[in-house]
C-alpha cells in the first residue's frame, strides 16, 4: 500500500496524527525508533498487538457508538481492503479490525478519517471511548437526550495533553435514564441525567458516580454528587484526571486504576484534591449546547412516511417476525416512530453484510446507527408499516434473530481467537451456550432480565462481572496436564431500578462442563425461583454456597473424557499460551529516551503557547518537568511510582543534596500548576522555568555519565511513572 496517503480530504489534526504514525513506523523499521517506545506510542493511535505474530488489531474510537450509513460502509470497505473482512463490535461501542499489517495502519486511518472516524486514543493510557446508552434520544424514560453531552466531552478530551501519558486508562459512560443501560456503575466516571429547579429555572445536570471498575477486583462506583450541573461536568472531569495523573499508581499495573486511588484516598479526600485542582483548569464552567435529539428532518419525515404508506410487504416467516417484534422493536419517545435493535452474534459482521445493513438503514431509518454495549446495533425512526420489510431485509443477511439483549444474546470478547491475554476460547463457548438456550429453553429467548457474558480472561472485556451469569477464562491442573476452564460468576448486572451489582465467584469448572453448568443453573431457577423473581434476588436468596454445591460435581477432574482436555474449537490437548497484554501501554527503559520525552513536551508547550492555548501549554510544562525529574531519579535507581512521589523524591535526592539548583524547592516550582489560573502571564513565566529545568536535567546527566550516559538501562519496574 502507498506510504504517502492522500491527506487532502481530512482535517489538519488527523493529518498530523497520520503523518506522525507513518514517520514512526518508518523509524521502527530503520532502527531509529525503539520498539518498546513505539508500542507506547502506537497504542494511543489504536494499534494493538495481536496474538498472531506479524499482525495487529486496529481499533477505532466511535463515541457512544454513533455511525452514519456512509461511515459503516467505509468501515466495511476498509476491512475488506486491508484486513480479514470482519468488523468486530465491542462492548465499548467501538469497531475493531484484526489481522492488520502495521504498514497499512496509516492508510486505514486516512480512509476512515475521510468520513470522520478516528483511531486516536482508542487504546493506551488515555481517556478511552466514551460510551452511552444506545437508545439515548429516543428512550421513552429519559429526562433529556445525553447525546450532545457525551459528544462534547469526547471532543474536549481528544488530544488533550492532560490524558496522553496517564498511569492507566479512564473510561466514562453516560446513561439515558435511571435504568443505567450504559452500566455507569462500573466506570471511572458515570453520568445519569437529572433536572433540578434552581432559582425558579429547570437546570439540566447529572448524578455523578466515580471510580467504578471491573476486572480482577471489581468495585461499584461511588456517588460523588447527586446533582452536578451540566456545565460543570467537563471542569470536574479535567480536575479529577489531573489528580489521577499526579497521584495514581503507575508501577503496579493491577493497582493503577482510579478505583484504587479513590479507595486509598477516600472519596472525600479525592474530591478535596479535585476541588484544589479546579483553580488551574482552563474553564470553571463549560456550557454544552443541547441540540435537537430528532435526527429526522421534515423532508426526511415525509420521505419515510411515503415509503411506509406504499409498503405492503408481509413478513416471510410470521412466527419469527412476531418473536422479533416482541424482543427487538419498541416505540420511541417520539410517538409513532419505532426503533429496531439488531442482534449481531459475537459482535461480528462481515464487510458485505455491513454494507447491505447500511443500505437498509438508508432505505428505512434515520441516518443514525448506534452500536450497543452488548455488541449489536440500534436503528431508529422507522414507520410501523415498514417493519415487515425491515425484518425481511435483515433476516436475508442473517440479522433477523429475535432475542436482542436477552439471555439468548450472549456477550463475548474475542478470547483466544486473537487476544494476547486470553486463556480460553470465548467465542466457541458462546455459540454452544446460545444453542443450548434456543433449542432446550425456547421459553427463555425473550427473557431480558438474565444476561450471560463471557471473557477470555479475568480482565473483563466481555464484562462477565456485570452479568447475572458470567464466565471468565482460567485453567485447572491435573498433575502434568492443564485443563481449559471457566470461572463461573453469578449475581452481577443491573436491576429494574438501575441498581448495579458485581457478580460473585462461585466455582471453576472445565470449560467443556460449562453447558451442563448452565443447564443446572437454569433448571434450578425454573424449579426454585419464585414467580417473576429477578434472577439476582433468587441468587441472593440461596447464596453462594448453594450454587457451589449445585455445581461441584462438575468440577471432578477424575471423571473427564479425552475431549474435555481440548478447548472449544480445538481438537488437541489444551496449551495455555498467554502473551504480554498491552491494555495499559508500555514504557521504555533508557534514561536518554525519557529525557528526550521531556524535551518533546517543552516543544509541545511552546507550540501551544504560540497558539494562545495557555492551559495546554502549562500542562505540557508540568509534564516535562516531572518526566525530566524522573529521568534523573532513574539514573540513581530510585523507583518512580507516582508523579507526587517523583516530586517528593527529586527534592530529597537532588535539590536538598545540592546536585540541582532551583530558586525554590521542586515541589513549589512544579506545583504552581494548581495554584495559578491559566493566564498568558503565568504560562510565559512557567514555560521559562520549565525549559530551564529540562536544560539543567540534560546538563546534570552529562556531568554524571558523560555524553554516552543517556543510554543507561534502568530497572524495568522503575520507569512507569
CA distance 440 to 431: 14
Lowest-pLDDT choice from 198-212, 338-352, 415-429, 707-721: 707-721
| Res 582: pLDDT | 54
- Among residues 628, 213, 278, 188, which one has the least CA distance to residue 461? 213
Confidence band for 2, pLDDT divided at 50, 70 and 90: very low
CA distance 10 to 515: 49
Do residues 613 and 607 touch, judged by C-beta distance below 8 A? no
Lowest-pLDDT choice from 113-117, 344-348, 400-404, 554-558: 554-558
Q: Which three cell numbers stand for residue 525?
A: 431457577
Sequential DSSP letters for 161-190: GGGSS-SS-B-EEE-SSTT-TT-GGGSSEE
Confidence band for 309, pLDDT divided at 50, 70 and 90: low
CA distance 52 to 422: 12
| Res 664: pLDDT | 94
Residue 569 C-beta-side C-alpha neighbours within 13 Å: 13
What 490-493 contacts at long range (C-beta under 8 Å, 24+ apart), as own/partner pairs, is 490/521, 490/539, 490/544, 490/547, 491/536, 491/539, 491/540, 492/464, 492/465, 492/466, 492/467, 492/468, 492/536, 493/451, 493/466, 493/467, 493/468, 493/536
Helix, strand, or coil (residue 394): helix
At the top level of CATH, the class of 591-718 is: mainly alpha
* Residues ≥6 apart with Cβ < 8 Å to 275: 239
Backbone angles phi, psi at 541, to 5 degrees: -65, -40
**Domain ranges, ordered by start, for the chain:** 1-119, 139-292, 298-396, 411-565, 591-718
Q: Which three cell numbers stand for residue 336?
A: 409513532
Q: What is the 3-state secondary structure (H, E, C) of 42-105?
A: HHCCCEEECCCCCCEEEECECHHHEECHHHHHHHHHHHHHHCCCEEEECCCCCEEEEEECHHHH
Lowest-pLDDT choice from 120-134, 272-286, 505-519, 589-603: 589-603
Residue linked to cell 415498514: 386
688, with CB counted inside 10 A (0-12, 13-18, 19+), is: exposed
CA distance 643 to 251: 11
Q: Do domains 139-292 and 411-565 have the same CATH topology?
A: yes
pLDDT in tens, 225-253: 999 999 999 999 999 999 999 999 887 77
Q: How many CB atoms lie within 10 A of CB 625?
A: 29
| Res 415: pLDDT | 82
Residue 580, pLDDT > 90, answer no
Higher pLDDT, 580 or 469: 469
**pLDDT (mean) for 639-647:** 91
| Res 34: pLDDT | 80
Confidence band for 578, pLDDT divided at 50, 70 and 90: very low
Q: How many residues in the chain?
A: 721
Helix, strand, or coil (residue 342): strand
Share of the chain above pLDDT 90, in %: 73
Higher pLDDT, 583 or 284: 284
Residue 712, pLDDT > 80, answer no
Residue linked to cell 487504546: 123
- Among residues 123, 132, 156, which one has the least CA distance to residue 66? 132
Distances (CA, A) of 128 to 34, 61, 180, 482, 642: 25, 8, 19, 35, 21
| Res 575: pLDDT | 59
| Res 302: pLDDT | 55
Mean predicted lDDT score pLDDT of the chain: 90
Distances (CA, A) of 340 to 357, 372, 397, 442: 12, 12, 15, 22
| Res 719: pLDDT | 39
Do residues 145 and 44 touch, judged by C-beta distance below 8 A? no
| Res 310: pLDDT | 63
Residue 60, pLDDT > 70, answer yes
Residue 574, pLDDT > 70, answer no
Helix, strand, or coil (residue 340): strand
CA distance 498 to 179: 4
CA distance 114 to 529: 54
Confidence band for 588, pLDDT divided at 50, 70 and 90: very low
Distances (CA, A) of 275 to 243, 284, 551, 677: 10, 11, 50, 14
**pLDDT (mean) for 555-561:** 85
Residue 96, pLDDT > 70, answer yes
Architecture in CATH of 411-565: 2-Layer Sandwich (3.30)
Which CATH code for domain 298-396? 3.90.480.20
**pLDDT (mean) for 15-33:** 91
- Among residues 88, 115, 112, 113, which one has the least CA distance to residue 99? 88
| Res 561: pLDDT | 82
Q: Which three cell numbers stand for residue 695?
A: 536544560
Do residues 214 and 176 touch, judged by C-beta distance below 8 A? no
Backbone angles phi, psi at 503, to 5 degrees: -70, 160
Backbone angles phi, psi at 471, to 5 degrees: -140, 140
Terminal CA-CA length for the chain: 37
Residue 306, pLDDT > 80, answer no
CA distance 581 to 567: 21
Which CATH code for domain 1-119? 3.30.70
Distances (CA, A) of 443 to 326, 400, 447, 466, 534: 13, 18, 8, 24, 16
| Res 577: pLDDT | 53
CA distance 246 to 239: 11
Architecture in CATH of 139-292: 2-Layer Sandwich (3.30)
**pLDDT (mean) for 471-497:** 89
**pLDDT (mean) for 160-180:** 94
Distances (CA, A) of 469 to 56, 372, 575: 31, 19, 26
CA distance 354 to 73: 7
Residue linked to cell 481517556: 127
Do residues 385 and 308 touch, judged by C-beta distance below 8 A? yes
Share of the chain above pLDDT 70, in %: 92
Residue 584, pLDDT > 50, answer no
Confidence band for 305, pLDDT divided at 50, 70 and 90: low
Sequential DSSP letters for 505-528: EEEEEEGGGHHHHHHHHHHHHHHH
Residue 514, pLDDT > 90, answer yes
| Res 721: pLDDT | 47
| Res 138: pLDDT | 96
Instruction: Provide the total of helices (H) and of strands (E) in the chain, helices listed first.
Output: 21, 22
Confidence band for 153, pLDDT divided at 50, 70 and 90: very high
pLDDT in tens, 657-691: 999 999 999 999 999 999 999 999 999 999 999 99
CA distance 100 to 523: 44
Q: What is the pTM of this model?
A: 0.90
* Residues ≥6 apart with Cβ < 8 Å to 535: 449, 450, 468, 469, 525, 529
- Among residues 516, 449, 400, 460, which one has the least CA distance to residue 219? 460
| Res 707: pLDDT | 53
* Residues ≥6 apart with Cβ < 8 Å to 3: 22, 26, 103, 106
Amino acid at each position: 500500500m502507498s506510504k504517502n496517503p492522500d491527506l487532502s480530504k481530512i482535517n489538519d489534526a488527523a493529518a498530523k496524527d497520520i503523518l506522525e504514525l507513518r514517520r514512526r513506523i518508518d523509524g521502527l523499521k530503520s532502527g531509529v525508533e525503539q520498539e518498546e517506545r513505539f508500542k507506547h506510542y502506537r497504542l494511543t493511535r489504536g494499534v494493538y498487538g495481536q496474538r498472531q505474530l506479524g499482525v495487529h488489531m486496529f481499533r477505532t474510537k466511535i463515541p457512544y457508538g454513533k455511525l452514519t450509513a456512509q461511515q459503516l460502509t467505509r468501515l466495511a470497505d476498509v476491512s475488506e481492503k486491508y484486513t480479514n473482512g470482519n468488523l468486530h463490535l465491542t462492548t465499548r461501542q467501538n469497531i475493531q479490525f484484526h489481522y492488520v499489517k502495521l504498514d497499512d495502519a496509516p492508510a486505514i486511518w486516512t480512509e476512515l478519517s475521510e468520513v470522520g472516524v478516528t483511531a486516536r486514543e482508542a487504546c493506551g493510557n488515555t481517556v478511552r471511548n466514551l460510551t452511552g446508552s444506545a437508545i439515548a434520544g429516543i428512550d421513552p424514560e429519559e429526562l433529556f437526550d445525553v447525546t450532545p453531552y457525551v459528544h462534547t466531552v469526547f471532543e474536549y478530551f481528544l488530544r488533550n495533553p492532560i490524558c496522553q501519558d496517564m498511569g492507566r486508562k479512564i473510561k466514562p459512560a453516560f446513561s439515558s435514564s435511571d435504568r443505567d443501560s450504559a452500566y455507569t456503575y462500573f466506570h471511572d466516571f458515570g453520568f445519569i441525567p437529572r433536572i433540578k429547579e434552581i432559582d425558579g429555572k429547570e437546570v439540566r445536570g447529572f448524578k455523578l458516580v466515580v471510580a467504578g471498575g471491573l476486572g480482577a477486583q471489581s468495585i461499584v462506583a461511588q456517588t460523588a454528587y447527586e446533582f452536578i450541573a451540566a456545565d460543570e461536568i467537563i471542569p470536574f472531569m479535567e480536575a479529577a484526571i489531573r489528580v489521577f495523573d499526579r497521584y495514581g499508581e503507575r508501577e503496579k499495573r493491577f493497582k493503577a486504576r482510579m478505583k484504587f486511588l479513590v479507595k486509598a484516598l477516600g472519596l472525600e479526600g479525592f474530591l478535596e484534591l479535585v476541588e484544589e485542582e479546579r483553580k488551574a483548569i482552563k474553564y470553571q464552567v463549560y456550557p454544552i449546547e443541547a441540540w435537537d435529539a430528532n435526527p429526522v428532518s421534515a423532508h426526511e419525515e415525509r420521505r419515510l412516511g411515503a415509503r411506509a404508506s406504499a409498503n405492503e410487504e408481509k413478513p416471510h416467516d410470521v412466527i419469527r417476525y412476531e418473536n422479533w417484534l416482541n424482543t427487538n422493536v419498541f416505540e420511541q419517545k417520539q410517538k409513532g416512530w419505532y426503533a429496531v435493535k439488531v442482534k449481531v452474534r459475537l459482535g461480528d459482521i462481515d464487510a458485505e453484510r455491513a454494507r447491505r445493513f447500511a443500505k437498509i438503514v438508508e432505505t428505512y431509518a434515520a441516518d443514525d446507527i448506534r452500536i450497543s454495549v452488548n455488541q449489536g446495533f440500534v436503528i431508529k425512526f422507522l414507520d410501523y408499516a415498514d417493519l415487515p420489510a425491515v425484518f425481511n431485509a435483515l433476516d436475508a443477511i442473517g440479522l433477523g434473530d429475535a432475542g436482542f439483549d436477552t439471555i439468548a444474546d450472549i456477550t463475548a470478547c474475542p478470547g483466544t481467537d486473537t487476544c494476547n491475554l486470553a486463556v480460553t476460547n470465548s467465542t466457541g463457548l458462546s455459540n454452544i451456550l446460545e444453542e443450548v438456550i434456543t433449542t432446550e429453553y425456547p421459553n427463555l429467548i425473550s427473557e431480558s432480565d438474565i444476561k450471560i457474558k463471557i471473557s477470555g480472561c479475568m480482565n473483563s472485556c466481555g464484562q462477565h462481572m456485570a452479568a447475572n451469569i458470567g464466565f471468565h477464562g482460567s485453567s485447572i491442573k491435573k498433575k502434568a496436564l492443564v485443563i481449559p476452564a471457566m470461572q463461573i460468576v453469578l449475581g452481577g448486572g443491573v436491576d429494574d431500578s438501575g441498581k448495579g451489582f458485581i457478580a460473585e465467584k462461585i466455582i471453576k469448572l472445565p470449560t467443556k462442563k460449562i453447558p451442563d453448568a448452565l443447564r443446572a443453573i437454569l433448571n434450578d431457577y425454573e424449579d426454585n425461583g419464585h414467580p417473576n423473581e429477578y434472577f439476582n434476588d433468587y441468587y441472593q436468596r440461596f447464596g453462594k454456597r448453594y450454587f457451589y454445591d449445585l455445581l461441584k460435581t462438575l468440577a471432578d477432574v477424575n471423571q473427564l473424557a479425552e475431549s474435555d482436555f481440548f478447548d472449544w474449537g480445538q481438537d488437541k490437548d489444551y496449551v495455555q499460551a498467554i502473551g504480554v497484554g498491552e491494555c495499559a501501554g508500555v514504557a521504555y527503559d533508557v534514561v536518554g529516551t525519557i529525557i528526550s520525552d521531556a524535551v518533546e513536551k517543552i516543544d509541545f508547550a511552546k507550540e501551544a503557547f504560540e497558539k494562545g492555548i495557555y492551559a495546554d501549554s502549562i500542562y505540557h510544562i508540568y509534564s516535562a518537568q516531572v518526566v525530566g525529574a524522573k529521568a534523573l531519579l532513574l539514573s540513581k535507581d530510585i523507583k518512580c511510582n507516582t508523579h507526587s512521589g517523583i516530586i517528593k523524591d527529586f527534592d530529597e535526592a537532588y535539590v536538598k543534596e545540592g546536585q540541582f539548583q532551583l530558586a525554590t524547592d521542586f515541589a513549589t516550582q512544579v506545583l504552581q500548576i494548581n495554584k495559578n489560573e491559566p493566564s498568558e502571564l503565568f504560562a510565559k513565566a512557567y514555560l521559562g522555568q520549565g525549559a530551564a529545568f529540562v536544560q539543567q536535567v540534560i546538563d546534570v546527566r552529562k556531568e554524571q555519565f558523560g555524553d554516552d550516559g543517556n543510554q543507561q538501562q534502568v530497572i524495568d519496574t522503575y520507569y512507569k511513572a
